[in-house]
Amino acid sequence: MKALRIHIRVILALVLRESRVRHGRSRAGYTWAIVEPVLQITILTLLFREFRGGTGGGTEFAIFFATGVLSFNMFKNTAGYVMHAFEQNRPLFNYPMVKPVDSVLARVLLDVATNLLIMFIVISFQVFVLGAPGPKHVPLMALPLFLLASMALGAGLSLAVIRRFLPSILNFYHIIMGPAFFVSCIFYSMSSIPTRYRELLAWNPLVHGIEGFRIGYFAEYSAPDVDLFYLFTWVAVLNCFGFVGEKLTRFRQQ
């Protein structure tokens, strides 16, 4: 238990350090990390509301879009942030109590907490200001978000391990995440596309996380092709590869 308490204190100290290093350079500090994405998403949802207002579905589509882009960004931002953990925290690994995995866990905690706060602000604005429907089943929303955050941990850690041998993997990640924005059911539901394309989209684990999140948010949302066990499989594989790979390749950090 003493070792566990020390380990937890190390991770929390790293979280505080990461927040200062990442956001301490601007006067707004951590506040700007919240305000910037909130403004971006709010402007986009307002535009969707105005453009679709004539059809009577502006508000509903705005919250539909928000649930998609918020959950997608949580995975994308967290995985990308974790990927740089080893390189940017290398001097700290000279301390015996600080392990490379600690820096990864600290970044996951900080970025997931930031994205959850952004999600809360954006959804609250839409519900109380724009009159959008509120969430119906919070526990059902929490499970897909937890799986997406866990997959972001595994993906970011796996990419960090690969970067020890192949630094250009960062470019590949950005190339992949660009098209992923359009094939992850952010603008549309999985059930609204033809069956042959739906079968292809089903291979994308982000689709199951985003659509699973919507199942919990909306009262009568239909997404029969969602398979959270498939998403969990990705979580297990990526985290296994990441944690085992980090231990086996730790010599590259020395």
What pLDDT digit, counting tens, does each position of 175-205 carry?
999 899 999 998 888 888 888 888 899 999 9
Residue 111 lies in a domain: yes
What pLDDT is recorded for position 116?
93
Residue 146 lies in a domain: yes
Residue 180 lies in a domain: yes
What pLDDT is recorded for position 26?
57
Q: Which domain holds residue 184?
A: 2-22+32-253
CA distances from 22 to 118, 197, 221 (A): 17, 40, 38
When pLDDT is averaged across residues 222-239 and rounded to a whole number, the result is: 94
Residue 62 lies in a domain: yes
Residue 47 lies in a domain: yes
Per-residue HEC secondary structure of 181-199 comes to: CCCCCCCCCHHHCCHHHHH
- Res. 126: pLDDT tops 50: yes
Single-letter amino acid, residue 153: L
Q: State the pLDDT confidence band at 242, using cuts at 50, 70 and 90.
A: very high
Q: State the pLDDT confidence band at 112, using cuts at 50, 70 and 90.
A: very high
pLDDT-wise least confident of 2-11, 54-63, 90-99, 153-162: 54-63
> Residue 126 CB: number of other CB atoms within 10 A?
24
- Given the structure tokens 């820096």, which residue do they identify? 103
Burial grade of 81 (CB within 10 A; 0-12, 13-18, 19 or more): buried
CA atoms of 227 and 202, how far apart (whole Å): 9
Residue among 146, 145, 169 at smallest CA distance from 157: 169
Percent of the chain past pLDDT 70, that is, above it, reads 90
What pLDDT digit, counting tens, does each position of 51-73 carry?
655 434 456 778 888 899 999 99
Residue 89 lies in a domain: yes
* Residues in contact with 22: Cβ distance below 8 Å, sequence separation at least 6, in sequence order: 33, 110
What pLDDT is recorded for position 8?
87
Instruction: Let me know: does 186 contact 72? Beta carbons within 8 Å.
Output: yes
When pLDDT is averaged across residues 116-122 and rounded to a whole number, the result is: 90
- Res. 145: pLDDT tops 90: yes
Instruction: Let me know: does 121 contact 36? Beta carbons within 8 Å.
Output: no
- Res. 221: pLDDT tops 50: yes
- The pTM for the full model equals 0.89
What pLDDT is recorded for position 4?
80
Residue among 209, 232, 53 at smallest CA distance from 132: 53
Higher pLDDT, 148 or 222: 148
Residue 68 lies in a domain: yes
Residue 27 lies in a domain: no
Tally of structural domains, the chain: 1
CA atoms of 196 and 182, how far apart (whole Å): 17
Write out the DSSP string of 57-95: -HHHHHHHHHHHHHHHHHHHHHHHHHTTHHHHTGGGGGS
Report the mean per-residue pLDDT for the chain. 86
